[in-house]
Amino acid sequence: MRRELPLAWFYGLAPGVFHAIFPVYLVAEEPELDQFVLALTDDQRRIQPGAQVEEYLRRYLMAETRRRLHQPVFAGQVMLAYAERCAVCALNHRPLLDAAHIIPDSDPDGAPVVTNGLALCKIHHAAYDRDILGIRPDHVVQIHRRLLAEVDGPMLRHGLQEHHGRRLMRLPSRLADRPDASRLARRFARFLAA
């Protein structure tokens, strides 16, 4: 605390399950309660415990995110190409759909073009980004082998496992908008290596 060095706080969620929050800083000691006061942000480090603004900072934290300026245009183009339906399950509920990149946006080859995109529902997008769900260049869905034998209820069974080996349910009607096979192959290789 005196050195103002950052720490990692392992917040217990359940026995043996923790969520790491870092960096955090010790800003005060409350010996009568056998505890310390933590600052989770630089703004909180500047506030003294008991100050009038402390309560405000405890309720609301501002988060800064980086987002490329082309994202809304890319998302709109992908949604239009896929007629606002998930490529994997054909869900037609726009608030639950995302425009997913085949080659990630952070990669130099991750161009914001429709042929590098897929319309995916939130669960399929998350599974795709974490290499739980892969899409072969011939548009066949694969689910990672570690999930195929798992029993965990209807969402896993119907939402993921039943799509294993099936073709995508939705593709753009225009051939020029279909996912690029070489990008799918590159991404599928990453899935296989996971």
Mean pLDDT of 140-169: 95
Q: What SS3 string covers the chain? A: CCCCCCEEEEEEEECCEEEEEEEEEEEEEEHHHCEEEEECCHHHHHCCCCCCCHHHHHHCCCCCCCCCCCHHHHHHHHHHHCCCCCCCCCCCCHHHEEEEECCCCCCCCCCCCHHHEEEEEHHHHHHHHCCCEEECCCCEEEECHHHHCCCCCHHHHHHCHHHCCCECCCCCCCHHHCCCHHHHHHHHHHHHHC
pLDDT at 155 exceeding the cut of 70: yes
Report the range out of 15-19, 63-67, 161-165 with the highest average pLDDT.
161-165
Q: Is the pTM of this model over 0.85?
A: no
pLDDT, tens only, 46-60: 766 566 655 655 565
Quick: pLDDT tens for 64-123. Answer: 666 666 678 899 999 999 999 999 999 999 999 999 999 998 899 999 999 999 999 999
pLDDT of residue 77: 93
Domain boundaries, the chain: 7-59, 71-193
